[in-house]
Chains A and B, each alone.
Chain A
Amino acid sequence: MPLLFLLLFYFFPLISILRESFARAGTDFTAPFRTIFNSSGFRKVLGFTFYQATLSTLLTLCIGLPAAYLVARYRFRGKKLLMSLTAIPFVLPTVVVAAAFNALLGPSGWINYALMTIFDLSSPPIRVINSMGAILLAHIFYNTTIVLRMVGDYWSHIDPRVSQAAYTLGANKWQTLREVVLPLLTPSISAAALLVFIFNFTSFGVILILGGPRFATIEVEIYNQTIGLFNLPIAATLSVIQLLCTLGFTILYTQISRRVTRPLNLRPVKYTQKHLTTWKSRIFAGLIVTFLSILFIAPIFALAVRSFISFTPIRQGRTSSEITVTTAYYRELAINRRDSLFFVPPINAISVSLGYAAITVLLAIALGLPAAWYLARGTNRTISNILDPLIMLPLGTSAVTLGLGFIIALGKPPLNLRASPLLIPLAHTLVAFPFVVRSLVPSIQSIKPRIRQAAVVLGASPLDVFRRVDLPLVGRALIVAATFAFTISMGEFGATALIARPEYPTLPLMIYRLISQPGSLNYGQAMALSTILMLITTLGMLTIERFRIAEIGEF
């Protein structure tokens, strides 16, 4: 079934567009490949794509892993909120993230303003927008949550007695970390790193808006070639190169994780987590929380504050602008001032977004669970070796290319979905699917076959085994997977914008509509709607967290 879904909604459109594109190149299929590898400009783009993705992924791991340790091993107040806050960037459109960074780090942002006042400078000392720094910062901002969730969750169920045993045997802290903890964590670390890497590798909005005109990834180049120059053969070739790279990384990952994965004794968090009792652990927790707060909460907070503030422009006789607190932007959202045909009250957009997100969660889990099960437990190694990398492909596919593929392939009966609102959750599911599978596989693999065998011996039916053994053991991972699917759907922009019916806009789409028009009221409304999006997403995630499927019991 998952395979059928992929065939129908992924491979069919993708192959249609690639065929159509290469048909335009004439008879010589290799010509566009030669053009690309002979051009120094394209080679530079390839090189830069690898370079920025590697650097961003390493930095994200550096920040994500200590934070994952904290949430895995300690219990403290506000942990769930902290986890939810770090996931918020995931749903924010890049224009809004750019606005948030700008409010903090821009030429007239708070930090520059403070530095200029303190050191009495005449020009802003920090210039982040349009730099490599902005790209790295944004990638960390977006992706830390992947590491935090995937590794943090897995880590929280690893038996701390393993490390304690190592200490008893005379190993010091670093030896234990290197020889015991890291090897046990490798499946989840490499799964998270793979996802982060592919996300960075195909980065589009961040590079375009925050990186500025001097940087381009393959994905940005595909967009330029398709939309600006309508050079479909070159665009298709670049898409193929990007896909092959994704395939390569995934195969590499599969090799690594096959070698290191072993069944574990998963323990409920009740036994693995402790309170922050020692001073050392408190300082550690304090440092991590402070750091995450600066990285995540400050920009989010800046956005929320901006949605309540109005800058009065400088008028005759005044030298500086006035700042007033207002709720005007929120009130304006509900007014159709110009009798616009496409006006949608925010409450409707919220329900549309939530509706799509709910369908995406159900669909992604329904498809992802059997797929993950097969990958983790399947007896036929050859099939799962082929299937595994295929599942990751949607993430590495250019959104521009796939969007055009949908238009070509899904336009004829019986699959006439081009203008159907259902296409949106389907597209979201395609993006969420790899996340769901990657979150579930490490947990399923770690279930000891002995436990299931014991259950069978004791007379449990296969359904009983699933319900009473498997489900409790993967329960947490299922929550993680659902959260990913939910946030992906809430924030997805590229695919949604492709075939939108203006009557059913999602929140990110409406934000973009507002911010692309001049006028302080439009900008303010975009900020207000972004704040609403952040709030709804946080509430949604906290609700998903409450869904206790089952907790790992004592075996």
Chain B
Amino acid sequence: MFNRLLFLFLMLSITLPACRPVDRESTRQLKVITHDSFAISEEVITQFEEQYGAEVQFIKAGDTGTALNKVILSKESPFGDVFYGVDNTFLSRALAEGIYEPYDSPLLSAIPEEFKLDAQNRALPVDFGDVCPNYDKAFFRTAGIKPPESLEDLLTPEYRGLLVVQNPATSSPGLAFMLTTIGRFGEDGYLDYWQRLVENDMLVVNDWESAYYNEFSVHGGTYPIVISYGSSPPAEVIFSDVEIAEPPSSVLVEDESCFRQIEFIGILQGSHKRDLAENFIDYVLSPTFQEAMPMQMFVFPVNQETQLPEQFAKFASIADSTAKVDPEAIAEKREIWLQDWTETVLR
């Protein structure tokens, strides 16, 4: 009895997906693979769907690294047409594995050169965000200490035991901050900087959630400086449980203390819907989509013709100059840097 039921179920499970209307392979369905943090408003997507008589299906494939690995491993029979979300720390891996087809979108002219890291336009820049030290404004006000103004400040006795960071091996903001120090102090100097941070009683945790919600003093922890995003302060205002006029935290952006994460979009090699995929990428790079991104994903648009929403323009910080590390160097030396960092900081 069990066996028969089970057999029936297995058969159903194999055949059902094929006949469900949503999954039917229509020519006008576009599959977009992305990471877990992707978000967009219904209105913006409906507008695209109506304009092109198409249907967009999003597939979330885990965090950025996981999603990329899945796309790479399935490149022989891709499970989507467009992949949104590779960032500059993973870009070289994506390009080396040849997952994208080049596409010279006409919208690229509205995007500054500094974002275009792939000369062949296989991966097109789509948004960016800065990873910077955030600090608790109230703590520094009550303690009578001035908020930090540079990365060097964090080494002084005044800031002893105030900083919590994430492990670069397990956390994306953690990796970004390690890269900041490499860009800022050079490959020869960054370990020395970290050594001195350790001596100044810095705390290391593995994930952003623990750092931000358990250790950061804004949310009840005891560390008033945390590594987070330049867009975290406006998020604190928008996602506050009581209405507040200004964010409880602020960002240290001066003096190359941030790392700029740039995200890319591209058409996957082997997609049979090249035209629709091109239309979608043009739409994503157009002001309509770009203007919706800040409030949905808390990232900044790359299209220069885009207006920032009011709360964003007011509270979000964009660093004037960020620490720069070449994407190819990241791919090549990531492992060595991480090993050296682990030796210095955790042992």
Contacts and interface: CB of A to CB of B under 8 A. Distances in A.
Given A212-B205, A224-B170, A419 B335 contact: no
Interface stretch (B189-197, B208-216, B283-291): B208-216
B239 A227 contact: no
B308 interface: no
B59 A407 contact: no
A208 B209 contact: no
A524 interface: yes
Contacts of B240: 519-521
Contacts of B222: 107-108, 124
A8 B11 CA distance: 12
A339 B43 contact: yes
Nearest to A494: B62
A513 B17 contact: no
Contact of A416 (B17, B31, B228): B17
Interface in B41-57: 41-43, 45, 57
B210 A5 contact: no
Contact of B205 (A17, A213, A340): A213
Contact of B232 (A4, A107, A518): A518
Given A99-B213, A227-B63, A313-B138, A341 B346 contact: no
B295 interface: yes
A363 B241 contact: no
A400 B65 CA distance: 12
A222 interface: no
Interface string A84-128: 000000000001001100100011100000000000000010000
A522 interface: yes
Interface in B1-49: 2-3, 5-7, 9-10, 13-14, 16-18, 23, 31, 36-37, 39-43, 45
Interface stretch (B66-74, B103-111, B117-125, B321-329): B66-74
Interface stretch (A49-57, A385-393, A473-481, A495-503): A495-503
A63 interface: no
Nearest to A318: B138
B2 A370 contact: yes
B213 A312 contact: no
Contact of A227 (B18, B39, B69): B69
A336 to B, nearest CB: 8
Contact of B13 (A106, A310, A369, A426): A426
A426 B208 CA distance: 31
A517 B298 contact: yes
A116 B17 CA distance: 58
A198 B203 CA distance: 31
Contacts of A311: 220
A538 to B, nearest CB: 25
A208 B342 CA distance: 15
A224 B40 CA distance: 30
Interface string B235-247: 1101111101000
Given A416-B17, A422-B13, A366 B236 contact: no
A130 interface: yes
B334 interface: yes
Nearest to B218: A313
B198 interface: no
Interface string A520-539: 11111000000000000000
A272 B105 CA distance: 76
A363 B7 CA distance: 11
Given A319-B142, A338-B296, A415-B14, A520 B219 contact: yes
22 contacts: A4-B10, A108-B220, A208-B206, A213-B206, A227-B63, A313-B218, A338-B41, A341-B40, A366-B2, A370-B3, A407-B74, A416-B17, A417-B14, A497-B36, A502-B60, A516-B209, A517-B235, A517-B239, A518-B229, A518-B232, A519-B236, A519-B240
Q: Which 10 A-B pairs have the closest CB atoms?
A: A519-B239, A227-B65, A213-B167, A420-B17, A521-B239, A339-B41, A314-B138, A518-B235, A313-B248, A107-B222
Interface of B: 2-3, 5-7, 9-10, 13-14, 16-18, 23, 31, 36-37, 39-43, 45, 57-63, 65-66, 69-70, 72-74, 77, 79, 93, 138, 142, 167, 169-170, 203-210, 212-215, 218-222, 228-229, 232, 235-236, 238-242, 244, 248, 295-296, 298, 334-335, 338, 342, 346
Given A129-B214, A366-B6, 4 more contacts: A1-B7, A213-B206, A521-B239, A523-B219
